[in-house]
């Protein structure tokens, strides 16, 4: 959702942002509808003012016991005209709003230009990939002897699901608990247990609807399964006018996430990299416009801290213009090193959405001093994707015999167990 006032004065900047995302210009189209709407509104207003004045006069005259017939005739002529104008105005307004809702967020200035992920910029590399004395295996191979079954999952649910059993199920729970504790105890996030089914409005607010319906699962009842806890957490402030003193708000939730992966046929078909259902710990911040850039850095560090404590090598990548999501003005991805595949893979994505989502969901705050409300800024980031973290632990901490030595930070969450042993050994 975009600010019309801003757009009028910054049409070129708007189109430049679209161009950087590889999209054709649109400001002129939007502004033409805006122009039409304003002209109509100005014209309509005269009629409305006249009607209101006459009606008031009729009331006065009737109360005084006078004859209002002549005034009634005059207002009758205005009536249809005004009504038609109001209808037309509503149409234009609706058209304008759906236009405004269909273009992605204006990118931050410091987002590098580029068409796709190859142009992303590595900001920092943290930790050194371990040197293996043997060929490290991918997680699905390791998992086969540890309680990871895609066959069982396929029987139940089809492709892109997994069943974890025993130590691996326990490990997933341990990782999630560790992350929640870190973010709540040390980083000041408030834990939330939100609904996993939401309505259209919530998904419109965060920007998944109406454009990306094909990526989502929908129930018979008309609800949608959340693709990320960003949706319920951010929409917590939808329609609110918060006090500036309440900001920043910081929420964390561990939820399952559901994605149809409609456009990903044939991609990442092996292993549990890309699933229809996965667990994720999500961070959401709501801030003032002045604070959001600093909060973005802070949030990214909060996500990075998880990787540091788990002793996982990673790098931070600033996404280029063509790779930055619809609702985001700027995004850092955290990519963890996966020795089994010899690549860095996305494990977190931290985005500053500016006021883009706030406008869609009417989330505002009242500045100190009783001034008019302003839109908040919203940010979200994974802290982290739990399934992919589990993968990273397996691949990075594997031993030649297929066992997994667990990072120290997780041991307390595993009741002291510091090793997963494969079956049939």
Among 305, 346, 399, 421, the active-site one is 346
Can you tell me the distance from the alpha carbon of 404 to that of 142, in angstroms, rounded to the nearest whole number? 9
How many other C-beta atoms can be found within 10 angstroms of the C-beta atom of residue 279? Answer: 20
Min dist CB 5 to RNA, Å, is 7
Backbone angles phi, psi at 238, to 5 degrees: -55, 135
405 is an active site residue: no
Q: How far is the CB of 361 from RNA (least distance, A)?
A: 14
- Shortest Å, Cβ 342 to RNA: 45
Q: Which is nearer to RNA, 130 or 199 (CB)?
A: 199
Cα–Cα distance measured from residue 51 to residue 46, given in angstroms and rounded to the nearest whole number = 9
The verdict on whether 388 is a catalytic residue reads yes
Q: How far is the CB of 39 from RNA (least distance, A)?
A: 7
Name the residue nearer to RNA (CB basis): 370 or 424.
Answer: 370
Least separation, in Å, of the C-beta of 369 and RNA?
Answer: 5
| Closer of 35 and 186 to RNA (Cβ) | 35
The secondary element (H helix, E strand) that includes residue 179 is helix 167-181
Catalytic-labelled residue, pool 20, 21, 160, 259? 259
Nearest Cα to Cα of residue 157 among 47, 275, 305, 324: 275
- Alpha helices in 26-148, H assignment, sequence order: 27-63, 69-100, 139-144
Tell me how far CA of residue 267 lies from CA of 107, 262, 274, in angstroms: 28, 11, 8
Q: Is 382 helix (H, G, I), strand (E, B) or coil?
A: strand
Signed CA dihedral, 339, 340, 344, 348: sign only = negative
Which residues here bind RNA, judged by CB under 7 A?
4-5, 38, 41-42, 44-45, 48-49, 51-56, 58-60, 62-63, 72, 75-76, 79, 83, 87, 90, 199, 241, 364, 366, 368-370, 372-373
Residue 5 bears catalytic tag:
no
**Complex with RNA: residue 373 or 407, whichever CB lies closer:** 373
Task: Please identify which of the residues 51, 170, 218, 274 carries the catalytic annotation.
Answer: 274
CA distance 372 to 206: 24
Going by C-alpha positions, the residue among 89, 105, 107, 90 that lies closest to residue 2 is: 105
> ∠ at Cα 45 (93, 84), nearest 5°?
60
Nearer to RNA by Cβ, of 255 and 275: the residue is 255
User: Is 292 one of the annotated active-site residues of the chain?
Assistant: no
For the question of residue 274 being annotated catalytic, the response is: yes
Cα 360 vs. chain centroid, distance in angstroms?
12
Tokens read off for 368: 């100190």
Query: 321, 349, 351, 382: which is the annotated catalytic residue?
Result: 349
Residue 274 to residue 262: CA distance in whole angstroms = 12
Minimum Å gap between C-beta 290 and RNA is 18
Compute the distance between CA of residue 296 and CA of residue 301 in angstroms, rounded to an integer.
Answer: 9
The span from the CA of 209 to the CA of 361, in Å, is 12
Task: Give least dist CB 201 to RNA, A.
Answer: 9
CA dist., res. 303 & res. 295, Å (int): 12
- Burial of 150: CB neighbours in 10 Å, binned 0-12, 13-18, 19+: buried
Given the complex with RNA, which of 56 and 301 has the nearer CB atom?
A: 56
Q: Given the complex with RNA, which of 9 and 186 has the nearer CB atom?
A: 9
For the annotated catalytic residues, the residue numbers are 259, 274, 346, 349, 388
């Amino acid at each position: 959702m975009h600010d019309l006032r801003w757009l009028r004065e910054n049409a070129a900047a708007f189109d430049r942002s679209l161009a950087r995302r590889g999209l054709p210009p649109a400001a002129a189209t939007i502004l033409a509808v805006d122009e039409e709407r304003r002209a109509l509104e100005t014209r309509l207003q005269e009629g409305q003012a006249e009607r209101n004045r006459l009606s008031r006069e009729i009331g006065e005259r009737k109360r005084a016991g006078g004859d209002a017939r002549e005034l009634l005739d005059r207002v009758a002529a205005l009536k249809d005209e005004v009504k038609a104008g109001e209808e037309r105005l509503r149409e234009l307004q609706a058209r304008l709003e759906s236009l405004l809702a269909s273009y992605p967020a204006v990118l931050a200035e410091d987002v590098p230009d580029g068409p796709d992920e190859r142009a992303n910029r590595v900001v920092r590399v943290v930790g050194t990939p371990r040197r293996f004395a043997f060929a490290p295996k991918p997680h699905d191979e390791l998992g086969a002897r540890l309680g990871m079954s895609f066959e069982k999952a396929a029987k139940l649910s089809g492709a892109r699901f997994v069943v974890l059993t025993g130590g691996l199920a326990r490990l997933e729970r341990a990782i999630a608990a560790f992350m929640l504790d870190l973010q709540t105890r040390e980083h000041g996030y408030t834990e939330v247990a939100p609904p996993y089914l939401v309505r259209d409005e919530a998904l419109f607010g965060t920007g998944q609807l109406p454009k990306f319906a094909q990526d989502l699962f929908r129930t018979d009842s008309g609800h949608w399964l959340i693709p990320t806890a960003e949706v319920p957490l951010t929409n917590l402030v939808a329609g609110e006018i918060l006090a500036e003193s309440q900001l920043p708000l910081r929420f964390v939730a561990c939820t399952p996430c559901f994605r149809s992966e409609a456009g990903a046929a044939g991609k990442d078909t092996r292993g549990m990299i890309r699933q229809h259902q996965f667990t994720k710990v999500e961070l959401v911040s709501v801030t003032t416009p002045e604070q959001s850039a600093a909060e973005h850095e802070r949030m990214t560090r909060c996500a990075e801290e998880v990787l540091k404590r788990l002793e996982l090598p990673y790098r931070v990548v600033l996404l280029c213009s063509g790779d930055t999501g619809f609702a985001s003005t700027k995004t850092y991805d955290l990519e963890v090193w996966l020795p089994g595949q010899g690549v860095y893979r996305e494990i977190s994505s931290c985005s500053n959405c500016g006021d883009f989502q706030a406008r869609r969901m009417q989330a505002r705050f009242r500045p100190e001093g009783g001034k008019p409300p302003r839109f908040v800024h919203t940010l979200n980031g994974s802290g982290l994707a739990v399934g992919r973290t589990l993968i990273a632990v397996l691949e990075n901490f594997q031993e030649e015999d297929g066992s997994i030595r667990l990072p120290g930070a997780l041991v307390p969450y595993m009741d002291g167990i510091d090793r997963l042993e494969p079956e049939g050994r």
